[in-house]
Structure formats: structure tokens, C-alpha cells
Amino acid sequence: MASALQCRAVSPFVAASSTHRHSRRCLAVQASQRNEQPMQQRAANLLLSLGAAATLALSGPAFADNSNVRLPPLDNDPNRCERGFTGNTIGQANAVSNTALDLRFCDFKGANLSGKTLSGAFMNETDFSGANMRETVLSKAYAYKSNLSGADMTNAVIDRVVLDGANLEGAKFVNAVITGTTFKGANLAGADFEDALIGSEDAKRLCANPTLLGDSRDQVGCYQAR
């Protein structure tokens, strides 16, 4: 029986010894859970994960044409959307996990995803409207045309994420870290970037978006980014 331990993203301010113990426990639980999977399913998950890593490696600012992105087939796991409430923890920075996180077309409207790690997740055309995504980690997530309107991403890590074509109207990025992320064609009306840490190139991309207006432009620092 799998352990009930939930492995969540660890704050960088937690003591190193505590972080090390937490990571070892997480790895032990995840190794146990992997051993419970049928070998064929584990192989399929690995191939999907490798495909995800290869695709997302191309999904940064230098890979601007999302119409040509070739994604792996939709995961046929009937519980794939439920995995969004667990997330993943292995290889957060490089979006490498034992299992690909396929959240395409899932409905997380108003859901509580606070503190979850969704690194490397396929999130295109997923509904996160009004969701609690405070302190969520989104390294190399692919959120093309996703609906994040009204989502609260306060203190979130938004690193190398494709948000092209996404609906970000009224989304909160308060004190979030935003680096290497694209917003081409996104709706940024009323988005809140107060105290967000935004990379200089990210600021330029945000300021080039015609839907970023009023206070949102000031918060991003668009006058300085010209």
C-alpha cells in the first residue's frame, strides 16, 4: 500500500537538514509507488515523460510558433486530471519527472492547487479560472491557450512557461517569480503584477502585449522597459 505522505515543494528558507530528510522520504515513497505500477505502464509513462522533456525544451521564447509544436498523445490514464492535485517533485528545475503530468483539457476551475509542483506539465486549453495556485511551481509548463483568468498565483514560480494565447485576465502574480516565459497573444487585462520579480526580457515581452494596461503596466515597469 502506498504511503499517505504527500511530497510538496520545499521552501528555500527551510533548514538544509530538514529539506534533505524531506527529499529522501519523498524519493522513497515515489520509488515504492513506481514499483506498484505494471511494467508496461511504467515504460509508457517514461516514454511520455521523455517526449514531454524534448518538446518543452523547445517551448521557450526562442520557440515562438506554437502551431508547430508536436505534443505526445493524450495520456489515456482515466485519473490523469486528478494527478494535478498531487503534482510532481522530481527534477523541478528541469521539469524531469518519473511520470509526465498531462493536464490537457482538465477542469480545475476554482480548485485549490496551492503549493503544488506542476513542472513540465502539459496544461494547454486547461481551465484554471479562479484557482488557488499560490506558491505553485510551474517550471517549463506548457500552458498554451489555457484559462487562468482570476487565478491566484501569488508567490508562484513561473519559469520558462509558455502562456501564449492564455486567458490571464484578472490573474494575480503578486510577488511571483517570472523568468523565461512567453505571453504572445495572451489576455493580460487587469492582471496584478505587484512586487513580482520579472526578468528584463520577460518585462519587454509583457510590455509588448497590447492588453497590458494601466496599473499592470506600471507594476511590470513598462516605462523602464522601453
For the whole prediction, is pTM greater than 0.85?
Answer: no
Mean pLDDT along residues 190-216: 97
Rounded Cα gap, residues 220 and 14, in angstroms: 29
Assigned domain for 3 exists: no
Cα–Cα nearest to 166, from 130, 203, 126, 111: 126
Assigned domain for 73 exists: yes
Assigned domain for 63 exists: yes
- The reported pLDDT for the residue numbered 94 is 53
- The reported pLDDT for the residue numbered 226 is 46
Q: Is pLDDT of 191 > 80?
A: yes
Q: Per-residue pLDDT tens for 9-67? A: 444 443 444 444 444 444 444 544 444 444 444 434 444 444 444 444 444 554 456 66
Provide the CATH number for the domain around residue 200.
Answer: 2.160.20.80
Rounded to a whole number of angstroms, the CA Rg of the chain reads: 17
Assigned domain for 6 exists: no
Give the list of residues 6+ apart from residue 58 with CB closer than 8 angstroms, or none. 69
Structural domain range at position 112? 13-226
Q: Is pLDDT of 2 > 90?
A: no
Assigned domain for 1 exists: no
Assigned domain for 5 exists: no
Sheet bearing 177-179, strands edge to edge: 157-159, 177-179, 197-198
Domain count, the chain: 1
Assigned domain for 207 exists: yes
Residue 145 bridge partners (DSSP): none
CA torsion 156-160-162-163 (nearest 10°) is: 30
In the chain, where do the E strands start and end? 157-159, 177-179, 197-198
- The reported pLDDT for the residue numbered 99 is 66
Assigned domain for 192 exists: yes
Lowest mean pLDDT among 45-59, 123-137, 205-219: 45-59
